[in-house]
Chains A and B, each alone.
Chain A
């Protein structure tokens, strides 16, 4: 394991140049061919042609494994027999499942709401100041931090020393300034879920803000000026002009955050692993994977997938509405 492999570097450089070129060629050449075909055939072949790479990747990497996941959730772990709903029964009768379902619900509601809401408000507010870039950097800062690093950071924040001794944790030192005893944030039942969800929100707001900000910039200033001339104050503009225009993006971000809330377990895992009643569904799945119990993990995975189906339906309805309006 010595120096840098030149072969690797060359491959990478070639990939960076070649892949876009290949795709470019694919589009240009493909269109040349398609345009020569009769109109009716063009109409149906073209979309598949364009979407083929994306659908291809998704099928290989996700659809096929998803189908396989559903299948193995009905089989035993050694993959020799069908055992029907036994894995699902295991999941739903496992003593901790009720707690983790409740906690996942808390995450779904509060994590999503605060992440999207704060992301939206901050995107709108910083749009109006000159130091927007700096402010965005500050809010974005938690995003590239891995879960392990985040757990270290928040350990420093939540650290607990016995009452009466010097506090090493930022939060306990702060409340100590006003004479309050230190709180064991992650142990105490009233604070621990909120603390973990807050850490999650802390890492996610930057993401929501950046995506919403990109769409915010697409709103032409003429529209905003016109509203101001019409006498609307800033609050009204935000409520009646900006938010409706941003609504599609808010839905995308909201959907992604909801899925994230269901799926990500890292924060919970590295900070408490679900101890003191903070467990969520995804950590349960991970625990099954840890002793290689793929079929039980698959059952939990299918439960997660089924849980988001209503969400997907909402999204598709919205797309259809959007397209009709165009």
Chain B
């Protein structure tokens, strides 16, 4: 027995040693070939884009890759901020280019740690062209000071704007609503849907899986920025304006008018249960379920994919009105937009070249041509009438304000979004919801 075991053991030993040697050899080799990181011919990009957006981005990159010979490795990563934060803390390789963080504290922190590289460095002498070509609201801090929401820290820019969307647009079916654009919010509420053969005034859909409630927050953002102005709006994002304050409370009460049982298609259950992408479907049914859907520019592709047989055309079948005034003309220039940005984490020659390319008109024109978005450059060509219209809204805006919830701490954002769901579900809970939000605000914005 012992002999057999000894023989087997020695064979075993030999095998194992051989295996160990192989593992060591290949583990090292495999490891090296697997590593990414800085290289003068490759760029790693992390992006939240997927589906059609990703395809558009690849279309944009195609001419760049063929003319410069630089290979761009794209990864769709919706968790990039956390992963980069972990990477910074652990000292591991970071992607060359990725979106910047939305949390203002994080932006400042990453700048101080040197993780974010200035756009001035990335673009070099093309920087001034970038500034003059891009929508000013995206590149200048109000009052000339820093603005961490658009990545301006210590006077330097750390986020380069490449794409824009406009929110708070009132979409309608041109064949159903034949009236004029309402001049004010009160005029809007006064429109009688049955005059046009529709059931209700508004459609709404707030469901969005883990992000349920964001369309509702867009609606209330657009109300508050026009009702109470940009200073109140910005303080509110910074946690300095209470939810129970008269301005924000007024915003909620106005919002409730948009989702009241009388005004919204299918009542509150429908508004709460319908996914935002399908919320506009009743616009195109017959009889029409509603006259208006308040949404952003990216909703157009959802209309078209849900009704392939109708072959909906922008401008002829559907169009939008800009959000009507809330009655305070000095705030009418406030428009809700958002942007996609690129930040540079590794200062390599290839990464710089890519950043410079993305700031050019030629690059951004490609994804504008692919449709579904606005670029960040003012002078792009839009053949789609709807997007041409949206571009002029963005261009003529006095302030292009960010979406409030996106820049609040995540526990505040969640409570805020869900408060809108709760008051839609039960309007009489407004006061207790606002008190609750104040409590959350007090805790969420605490230092550390």
Contact = CB atoms under 8 A, between A and B. Distances in A.
Contacts of A187: 269, 272-273, 425
B23 A14 contact: yes
B211 A273 contact: yes
A61 B34 CA distance: 22
B417 to A, nearest CB: 8
A141 to B, nearest CB: 22
B33 interface: yes
B20 interface: yes
A162 B266 contact: yes
Nearest to B32: A7
A29 B10 CA distance: 9
A221 interface: no
B103 interface: yes
A24 B269 contact: no
Contact of B19 (A21, A77, A272): A21
Contacts of B422: 275-276
A143 interface: no
A287 B23 contact: no
A271 B209 contact: yes
The interface centre, meaning the residue of A17, A77, A95, A284 with most chain B CB atoms within 10 A of its CB, is: A95
B33 A7 contact: yes
A288 B103 CA distance: 12
B270 A24 contact: no
A48 interface: no
A127 interface: no
Given A25-B12, A292-B82, A77 B269 contact: no
Contact of A78 (B73, B274, B448): B448
Interface residues on B, range: 35 or more
Interface in B349-407: none
A288 B411 contact: yes
Interface in A201-257: none
Contacts of B15: 21, 25
Contacts of B275: 155
Contact of A11 (B13, B26, B85, B210): B26
Interface stretch (A86-94, A102-110, A111-119): A86-94
B373 to A, nearest CB: 24
B415 interface: yes
B265 interface: yes
B448 A272 contact: no
B260 interface: no
Contacts of A155: 275
A184 B29 contact: no
Contacts of B19: 14, 17-18, 21-22
Contact of A90 (B22, B266, B446): B446
A18 B16 CA distance: 7
Interface in A1-27: 1, 5, 7-8, 10-11, 14-15, 17-18, 21-22, 24-26
Given A22-B16, A25-B13, A151 B29 contact: no
A69 interface: no
A198 to B, nearest CB: 17
A29 B13 contact: yes
B68 interface: no
B70 interface: no
B273 A28 contact: no
A287 B414 contact: yes
A76 interface: yes
Contacts of B81: 292
A176 to B, nearest CB: 15
Interface string A262-292: 0000000111111110000000100111111
B92 to A, nearest CB: 16
A161 interface: yes
B439 A95 contact: yes
B12 A24 contact: yes
A85 interface: no
A193 interface: no
A95 B436 contact: yes
B409 A270 contact: no
Contact of B210 (A29, A93, A96, A273): A273
A28 B82 contact: no
Nearest to B414: A287
B330 interface: no
B95 to A, nearest CB: 14
B139 interface: no
A140 interface: no
B26 A7 contact: yes
Contacts of B272: 184, 187
Contacts of B9: 28-29, 32
Contacts of A151: 209
A89 to B, nearest CB: 9
Contacts of A81: 448
B7 to A, nearest CB: 12
Contacts of B33: 5, 7
A32 B15 CA distance: 16
Given A90-B443, A160-B270, A7 B29 contact: yes
B213 interface: yes
A282 to B, nearest CB: 13
A90 to B, nearest CB: 6
A195 interface: no
A145 to B, nearest CB: 16
A77 B103 contact: no
B210 A160 contact: no
Given A83-B448, A95-B439, A275 B410 contact: no
Given A32-B9, A292-B81, A8 B34 contact: yes
B30 A10 contact: yes
A103 B304 CA distance: 40
Contacts of A15: 23
Q: 4 tightest CB-CB pairs across the interface, nearest first? A: A25-B16, A76-B448, A162-B266, A18-B19
18 contacts: A5-B33, A7-B29, A7-B34, A10-B26, A22-B16, A22-B19, A22-B23, A32-B9, A78-B448, A96-B440, A161-B266, A162-B266, A162-B269, A184-B269, A269-B210, A271-B209, A276-B425, A287-B414
Interface of A: 1, 5, 7-8, 10-11, 14-15, 17-18, 21-22, 24-26, 28-29, 32, 76-78, 81, 83, 86, 90, 93-96, 151, 155, 159-162, 184, 186-187, 269-276, 284, 287-293, 295
